[in-house]
Amino acid sequence: MDWQICRFGPFEMRREQRRLYRDGKLLPLGSRAFDILQILVTRAGEVVSHEELIAAVWPNTFVAENNLRVNMTALRKVLGPEGSATNGMIANVPGRGYSFTATVAHQTIEPAPAGRGQIGGLRPLPKPLGAVFGREAALATLAGQIPARRLVTITGAGGIGKTTVVLAASDHLKHAYPDGVIFVDLAPIGDPRLVASAVATALGQAFRNESLVSELAAVIADRRILIVLDSCEHVVDAVALFAEQLLQSTSRLGIIATSRELLRAEGEWVLPLSPLELPEEDADFTAKSALVSPAVRLFVERASAAGGGFVFDDTNAPYVANICRQLDG
């Protein structure tokens, strides 16, 4: 497949990888904001209506215009500070929609060749749990660090969003790891000795059990494979040893672990997750301003989905913001 690159001003947008760079630096951009940018850039010079954007970006869900505005604000902020030329690349055409005003140059490049190809029998990735709110910076850092660091551990308290982030990352990283992305949930594993066989099963391989790690290493070899080890906290020592051995005997394998505790493995690079961003303490709370906070957006989505007719408005916005603060994001 050809990879499309679009250049405008100091920016480079890579469609296949869904990444936006400014002067070679990866920018943190949420998935929906990227979709919006992609549509506007493709139709540069035209006015794209709010309805068209909403239908294209959120095809199967009912989404309020507010949601589009929140993502548009985030997108413009990434392009540049308010009033700057790059921020103004997206013009608001009152009553009609948005228009991308910068000149766009298109380029098509061949993707880098994959390793030896996918191994047959790989278990498909689990579906992401739903929309991911915030976490653009963590996802961008992860994508930027994993190829060189090779072993990244996402750490944080229970329920903070480690699995959510790693599932979203697995999806984004499919292009960087063309030989396969494998997700292994270690939560159900009671015996630390079973870590390697859980990975072998996810790789769809039947191995003899005596030298499992070397057999795995021989199959992976120089393939560009990403192994995600989710919920490692109860088997950290076994995972650390397994990761060290496997990384030493392969060349392009990447491993992302999620764990409430560090693995303390050699070469481990740690990405600590902080709580979701909260609304500002002194902001004057309208529903619109509070929705800038990912913690509030998650609350509103879950409360609406729970039924009972919850409607987020200016009256309950300060209370919701307070609950989010008390729950620490």
Ligand X SMILES: Nc1ncnc2c1ncn2[C@@H]1O[C@H](COP(=O)(O)OP(=O)(O)OP(=O)(O)O)[C@@H](O)[C@H]1O
Q: Which positions touch ligand X (CB under 6 A)?
A: 129-130, 132-135, 156, 158-164, 231, 260, 276, 294, 298
Within 89-135, residue ranges assigned H as helices are none
Is the CB of 9 or the CB of 275 nearer to ligand X? 275
161 binds, among ligand X, Mg ion, none (CB under 5 to 8 A by kind): ligand X
Stretch that binds Mg ion, among 18-26, 130-138, 162-170, 288-296 (CB under 5 A): 162-170
156 binds, among Mg ion, ligand X, none (CB under 5 to 8 A by kind): ligand X
**CA–CA distance, 67 with 46 (Å, rounded to integer):** 22
Is the CB of 162 or the CB of 224 nearer to Mg ion? 162
Q: How far apart are the first and last CA of the chain?
A: 40
Within the chain, residue ranges assigned H as helices are 31-42, 50-57, 65-79, 136-149, 162-172, 195-202, 212-220, 236-248, 287-290, 294-305, 317-326
Half-sphere exposure of residue 229: CA atoms within 13 angstroms, side-chain side: 30
Q: How far is the CB of 142 from ligand X (least distance, A)?
A: 14
**CA–CA distance, 79 with 85 (Å, rounded to integer):** 9
Q: How far is the CB of 134 from ligand X (least distance, A)?
A: 5
Q: Count residues contacting Mg ion (CB under 5 A)?
A: 2
- Bridge partners (DSSP) of residue 152 are 256, 269
134 binds, among ligand X, Mg ion, none (CB under 5 to 8 A by kind): ligand X
**163 binds Mg ion per the rule CB under 5 A:** yes
Q: How far is the CB of 96 from Mg ion (least distance, A)?
A: 44
**170 binds Mg ion per the rule CB under 5 A:** no
**CA–CA distance, 294 with 30 (Å, rounded to integer):** 11
Judged by the rule CB under 5 A, the positions of this chain that interact with Mg ion are 162-163
